[in-house]
Amino acid sequence: MKTLKRKGNGILNREVLVLNQNYQPLLVCTARRAICLIYLGKVELVESYHKVVHSPSVVFPLPSVIKLSRYVNTHNNDIVLSRRNVLKRDQHQCQYCAKRSVPMTLDHILPKERGGSDSWENLVACCQECNRKKGNRRPVEAKMPLIRRPKKPNKIYYIRQFVKREQISWRPYLYMEPLGLD
């Protein structure tokens, strides 16, 4: 589907940090969605990228950080356990041999056939080679120690992974140190 998108829409796919009304970081959405929410009056613009978005009649600053107009009670602060999110947590690095930039799969530390669960603590990014090598064994049996103990990621830590050069303005909202560029 992605390849079918019209040229020039890239800017609208830019990532936007969404804060609760009290500035608590909630999630990341696309600029397209953010503009729509601003238009509907559901959010306020807090920071923008140094770019504008044109429609036939209006010029919008391209949002970078937005804030909900009304406080939302977020009981469910959990990050969804998914292949994509486990790989993201592990920074696409094999948790056995530390290789990056190779085809990745997910490994059950305690194999599923032996009662291992689908959980943040039992799933890690793993290259296909290590996955084959480890087979149906636990790390200690395969003599393949993990490079770090997998944990359930916390939301702010998770959102921080989206921060690149262009997202400098997000840093204070994610309790990251300023870059001292001025």
Q: Which of 37, 38, 90, 96 binds Zn ion (CB under 5 A)?
A: 96
Q: Which amino acid is at 97?
A: C
The answer to whether 87 contacts Zn ion (rule: CB under 5 A) is: no
Backbone angles phi, psi at 107, to 5 degrees: -115, 135
Nearer to Zn ion, 96 or 170 (CB): 96
The answer to whether 12 contacts Zn ion (rule: CB under 5 A) is: no
Interatomic CA distance for residues 115 and 8, integer angstroms: 49
Q: What is the DSSP string of 31-49?
A: HHHHHHHHHTTSEEEEEEE
> Can you say whether the dihedral through the CA atoms of 44, 50, 56, 58 is positive or negative?
positive
Interatomic CA distance for residues 13 and 8, integer angstroms: 10
Nearer to Zn ion, 63 or 150 (CB): 150
**CA nearest 125: which of 162, 98, 95, 153?**
95
Q: Note whether 58 and 37 are within 8 A (CB).
A: no
Q: Which of 12, 81, 97, 176 binds Zn ion (CB under 5 A)?
A: 97
Q: Which stretch binds Zn ion (CB under 5 A): 33-41, 49-57, 89-97, 138-146?
A: 89-97
Pattern 117-156, Zn ion, x by CB under 5 A: ----------x--x--------------------------
Site residues for Zn ion, 20-39, by CB under 5 A, read: none
Nearer to Zn ion, 14 or 89 (CB): 89
The answer to whether 170 contacts Zn ion (rule: CB under 5 A) is: no
Using CB under 5 A as the criterion, which residues of the chain lie in contact with Zn ion when the complex forms? Answer: 94, 96-97, 127, 130
